[in-house]
Structure 1
Amino acid sequence: MKNLLREKIMNGEKTVGTFFEAGNANVAEALALTDLDYMLIDTEHGPFDVESVMSMLRAAELHDTTALVRVKDSNRNSVLKMLDIGAGGLIIPQVHSIEEIQKLVEYAKYYPLGQRGVAFARGAGYGYLEHAAGDINDYFAVCNRETLLVPQCETMGCLENIEEIAKVDGVDGIFVGPYDLSVAMGIPTQFDKPEFQAAMERIVKAVKAAGKFTIIYCANAEVANTRLSQGFDSVTVGQDINYYIDAINAMVKEIHV
């Protein structure tokens, strides 16, 4: 069990992904054939059930592309289900406090970091994959290392506690949701405001000081390049459906000259 996204980030590589909203395993397989480092399956806003997400995870694995899942909420069942079916990592929306983060570690990480329920489900190859077939403590260690737990910083509570949240053992990185964070700050989408820029600097500094990584959502490649230059380790750029629409519109425009 190896998380290729984690390996790249730990090696200092800047990585690029996109949100996956189309909801079809064939499209997930097609995305895995691109040069993306990862896809982010969105069950917070997307209409996906557990079985459909499992099919998308299988499709991504065919071509060694890491598939992260943004869970619908921070409840134990939401976290556990996506890990059991083989998500390479979880993005957790709308967290506000250190106490919530500590609960998430309890749900998502095996002993001794947490109390994740033991089940040799699809993510463990039903107990037949090499990392799951031996000593249980070795299995726990591999899962804890390779399965990413990434809370989103998109609330004032998270921003105000980012230094302590980033230090929590079991948290692997922080994903910044700039749109919701700007709303929470009372400056919706005003990303050039000094206070928003200061928030970005604070997050990057705090997370790096804790030895963790940062990911941020970006609307386009121009924004992505800016964020990478600001010190973010990874960018999740746009969503697949927009790329389909834009590509088709560009083709039609080219024909109708």
Structure 2
Amino acid sequence: MNELFAERPASVGTFFKSNSAMVAEALGHTPLDFLLIDRQHASPDLETMESVIRAGELNSLPSVVRIDKANQGLFVNILDLGAQGLMIPQTNTADEITEIADAIRYQGNRSYAMSTRAGRFGNRDREEYLEWVNNDLVLLPQIESPAGVKNVEEIASVDAVTSIMVGPADLALSHDLPIGDETVDEMVDEIFERVAPLDCGLGMYAGTPEDLNRYRSETEFLIFGSDVGTLTSRYSDTLE
């Protein structure tokens, strides 16, 4: 899974907001590389997330979950269900992401369990599983605020961080700029330049096919729209 967020050209996922296992299974028949289950702006409970993760896996479509750092008590529950990692929105400092990294790895403060779905209900090789948790879980801090931009090198330099994800909409709003303002494009370019020399991948939200083409060679992963947004826009474009 880590290679999806560490190699170019960029892998492509989508924000998964519908909470539908059937939709997750259907998307496994598309060229998408992964699902990003949205627990920040959608409302899946743990049972729903488990069903979505399982449905994606039917067609080798792995899942990462976006969840706010204030919900740290759910992190291990989500990973025990079989999610391949976490995206943390509004990451502002290296200390924040280091604390989260410690909470989700056995070499940190994570409580040990092999009876989980991620542990194949006790049937996964223990040493292989511990190695995977400690070294291959995906951790994706989102850079969306002035503090995050200021501290981006320190955040990207945390060993457990796989890639950073730039959130252009919140980046604009947090700087009191309109979404889509050219100044945000300049900030994104600056972030890319500052992170490029580091051992850390880059990710970006791509809301349009043009964004997808623009950033695909400059990033390790892209989030292209959402399942719900694609569904509604398809009907709107066709019927209006």
Structure 2 length normalisation: TM-score?
A: 0.92
Question: Which structure: larger Rg?
Answer: 1
Amino acid at match of 1:165: I
Choose which of 115, 123, 126 in structure 2 pairs with 1:128.
123
Which of 1 and 2 has higher RCO (CA within 8 Å, sep 6+)?
Answer: 2
CA-to-partner distance for each residue in 1:130-188, whole Å, 9 max, x for gaps?
xxx233xx432212332101111011111100011100111111111111111112213
Comparing 13-22 with 241-250, which one deviates more in the overlay?
A: 241-250
Corresponding residue for residue 245 of structure 1? 232
Corresponding residue for residue 74 of structure 2? 78
Question: 1:45 touches 1:72 (CA, 8 Å); kept in 2?
Answer: no
CA-to-partner distance for each residue in 1:46-86, whole Å, 9 max, x for gaps?
01111100100000101001211101434431221211111
Choose which of 181, 186, 189 in structure 1 pairs with 2:179.
189
Give the number of equivalent residue pairs: 239
Q: Secondary structure at the match of 1:69?
A: strand
Alignment of 1:104-143 (within 5 A): 104-111=100-107, 114-120=108-114, 121-129=116-124, 133-135=125-127, 138-143=128-133
Choose which of 161, 170, 175 in structure 1 pairs with 2:151.
161
Choose which of 16, 22, 26 in structure 2 pairs with 1:26.
22
| In 2, Cα distance between equivalents of 1:175 and 1:17 | 12
Question: 1:224 touches 1:237 (CA, 8 Å); kept in 2?
Answer: yes
Alpha-carbon offset, residue 100 of structure 1: 0.8
1:53 partnered with 2:43:
no
| In 1, Cα distance between equivalents of 2:142 and 2:4 | 20
Alpha-carbon offset, residue 11 of structure 1: 4.4
| In 2, Cα distance between equivalents of 1:211 and 1:165 | 11
Alignment of 1:207-226 (within 5 A): 207-226=195-214
1:228 partnered with 2:216:
yes
Q: Secondary structure at the match of 1:203?
A: helix
Alpha-carbon offset, residue 9 of structure 1: 4.3
Amino acid at match of 2:126: G
What do you get for the CA RMSD once the two structures are aligned?
1.8
Question: 2:22 touches 2:55 (CA, 8 Å); kept in 1?
Answer: yes
Q: Secondary structure at the match of 1:187?
A: coil
Q: Secondary structure at the match of 1:52?
A: helix
Corresponding residue for residue 145 of structure 1? 135
Question: 2:82 touches 2:117 (CA, 8 Å); kept in 1?
Answer: yes
Question: 2:9 touches 2:216 (CA, 8 Å); kept in 1?
Answer: no
> Once the two structures are aligned, what percentage of the paired residues are identical?
31
Q: Secondary structure at the match of 2:224?
A: strand
Q: Secondary structure at the match of 2:119?
A: helix
Alpha-carbon offset, residue 250 of structure 1: 4.5
Structure 1 length normalisation: TM-score?
A: 0.86
Alignment of 1:160-179 (within 5 A): 160-179=150-169
1:94 partnered with 2:90:
yes
